[in-house]
Each structure stands twice: as structure tokens, then as C-alpha cells.
């Protein structure tokens, strides 16, 4: 290589460096500008969402995830274009990869979208007692992908948010006070008024039962062999729902027994026609021998 060739290579390198330095400097300034935008707008955006009543987890997802991620993507694309990178080709490649990744992770994405809806709609919060998918328990944790509850059996149940959104959900804690209903059947010969007079003092004496709204014993339906009543009591804490319901049922059963009020059970009546006298005597003898 001659001296002229060395000189030409040096000039070419100097020319490329001279052209590249401003581009690199511009890219750095763009990244710095986006960082300043992020640092200055982040607390403002969080404050707006807090005042709007958004859940903390949803705020984190919107600000730290969606907003921050969008700024990073725009900053990288803008900076890359400044240094001469073919952004269109890079985006096309990322698009193909994104489609493949989307197919592979569609269940996870569906659960995350459902998690967003849970945070947005707020049908329940941590600490609430809920029933969903035949599971009853206290909400322990809500994530973007799953909701986790602790059941009365002290088991930890992890439920995908997609299933919660698609199924009926009962929030036992939403309104604070809640009513407990216990079905009670009495014989048709018994007095509803007397049964009510027997049960109401017992219901009001159960720990946790509120005096207001007052407890009730109402006629609910007429069954095949019983008058079906419903004992109703209000409690202030959904956490005591099951224990109070069990105590109410036991106390009502004992009170009815003590008062001599019959709780019917299935009876079978056997009608026999055209039986000889000898057969009847045999049945009577058998009955006496087994009694």
C-alpha cells in the first residue's frame, strides 16, 4: 500500500468520523431528552391517576409499564434513525418476531388483559371475601395474571384472571353489612307465630348478630311435608359469615327441640289391599318380635 493509499484511507476515516460524531451526539441528546421527559412527567401522571381513584397495581402497570415502555421505544427508534440505522427494516423484523411470540403467549396475554380489566373495574380488592369458580375465601393478592385467595380450609388458590372475568363473582364484603339466611322446616301442624317467637331471641343472642337491621323469621315456601321458613340475621363482618351461619343453624335446631316444635322428615305410608287375615296375623307377630 502506497503513501497515497494510506492518506486516502485516513481521509476517508476522518470524513466518516466527522459525519458520525454529530449523529451520535444527536442520538445521545434525544435519549437524554426522553429521560428528562420521563423523570418530569412520571410523578405528574401518577398523581393524576391516584386522584382519579385508580388501584396502585393498575397505576404501576400504566406508568411504569405502558407509559415508560412507550417512551423507551420511541426514544430508541428516533435515536436509531439519527445514526443511520434502517428503522423500517428493524421494525419489520420485530413485527414478525412479535407475531410468533404472540401466538406462543396468547394465554398469558389473555390473562394480563383480564387482569387489566380487574384493576380497572375493581369488582373486589385485597381483603374482600369472594366466591368465584366454586371457591370461597379471602383475597390475598391480585396480580396482572392471577388472583389468589385463601379459603376457609386454609388452602391457597391461584385463579387465572381470565377465568374470573368470564365467571360469575360474588363479593361478600362490598357493602360491609351482610345478611345470613338459614332455611328451617317445621311441620304443618306447628304455628309459624310460635316458632318465630321461639327463634328470634335465640338468633339475637348469637355473637356477631346485629340488632339493626333486625333479625327475621319469615315463611318462605310450602313444601311437600313442611312449612319452609327462613331465619335471617345481619352481621357486620363478612369474615364471620360461615361461623355465624353454623352457630345460627345449631342454635335454631336446639331451640326447636327444647320447645317441642316438630321438624319434619320424610315419612313412608304403606297401604296394603286384599291381604288375608292369616297374613295380617303373621305381620303383627313379626312386628311384635322385632319391637
- Give burial (CB, 10 Å; 0-12/13-18/19+) of 79: buried
Q: Look up the pTM and report it.
A: 0.58
The 10s digit of each residue's pLDDT in 112-155 is 777 777 777 788 888 899 999 889 999 998 887 889 999 988 99
Bridge partner residues of 147 (DSSP)? 142, 159
CA distance 79 to 101: 26
Residues of the chain with CATH 3.30.70.100: 178-259
The 10s digit of each residue's pLDDT in 42-67 is 888 778 777 766 666 667 766 777 77
> Residue 186 gets which letter from DSSP?
E
Class of domain 178-259: alpha beta
CA distance 45 to 71: 14
Could you tell me which residues come within 8 angstroms of residue 79 by beta carbon, excluding any fewer than 6 positions away?
27, 28, 30, 31
Bridge partner residues of 205 (DSSP)? none
First vs last Cα of the chain: how many Å apart? Answer: 126
Residues of the chain with CATH 2.30.30.60: 123-171
Judge whether 82 and 23 are in contact, CB under 8 Å.
yes
E strand residue ranges, 188-285 = 216-222, 227-235
Q: What is the CATH number of domain 123-171?
A: 2.30.30.60
Residues of the chain with CATH 1.10.287: 3-104
The 10s digit of each residue's pLDDT in 262-278 is 988 776 666 666 666 67
Amino acid at each position: 500500500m502506497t503513501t497515497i493509499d494510506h492518506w486516502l484511507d485516513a481521509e476517508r476515516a476522518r470524513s466518516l468520523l466527522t459525519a458520525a460524531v454529530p449523529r451520535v451526539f444527536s442520538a445521545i441528546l434525544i435519549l437524554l431528552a426522553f429521560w428528562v421527559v420521563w423523570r418530569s412527567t412520571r410523578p405528574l401522571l401518577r398523581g393524576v391517576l391516584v386522584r382519579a381513584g385508580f388501584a396502585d397495581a393498575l397505576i404501576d402497570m400504566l406508568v411504569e409499564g405502558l407509559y415508560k415502555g412507550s417512551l423507551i421505544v420511541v426514544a430508541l427508534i428516533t435515536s436509531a434513525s439519527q445514526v443511520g440505522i434502517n428503522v423500517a427494516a428493524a421494525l419489520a423484523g420485530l413485527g414478525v418476531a412479535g407475531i410468533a411470540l404472540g401466538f406462543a403467549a396468547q394465554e398469558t396475554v389473555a390473562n394480563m388483559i383480564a387482569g387489566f380489566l380487574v384493576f380497572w373495574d375493581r369488582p373486589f380488592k385485597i381483603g374482600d371475601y369472594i366466591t368465584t369458580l366454586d371457591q370461597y375465601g379471602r383475597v390475598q393478592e391480585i396480580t396482572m395474571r392471577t388472583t389468589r385467595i385463601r379459603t376457609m380450609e386454609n388452602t391457597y388458590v391461584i385463579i387465572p384472571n381470565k377465568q374470573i372475568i368470564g365467571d360469575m363473582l360474588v363479593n361478600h364484603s362490598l357493602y360491609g353489612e351482610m345478611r345470613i339466611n338459614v332455611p328451617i322446616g317445621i311441620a304443618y301442624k306447628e304455628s309459624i307465630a310460635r316458632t318465630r317467637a321461639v327463634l328470634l331471641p335465640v338468633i339475637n343472642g348469637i355473637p356477631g348478630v346485629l340488632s339493626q337491621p333486625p333479625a327475621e323469621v319469615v315463611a318462605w315456601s310450602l313444601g311437600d311435608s313442611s312449612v319452609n321458613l327462613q331465619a335471617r340475621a345481619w352481621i357486620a363482618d363478612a369474615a364471620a359469615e360461615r361461623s355465624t351461619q353454623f352457630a345460627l343453624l345449631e342454635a335454631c335446631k336446639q331451640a326447636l327441640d327444647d320447645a317441642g316444635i316438630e321438624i319434619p322428615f320424610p315419612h313412608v305410608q304403606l297401604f296394603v289391599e286384599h291381604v288375608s287375615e292369616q297374613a295380617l296375623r303373621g305381620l303383627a307377630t313379626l312386628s311384635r318380635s322385632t319391637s
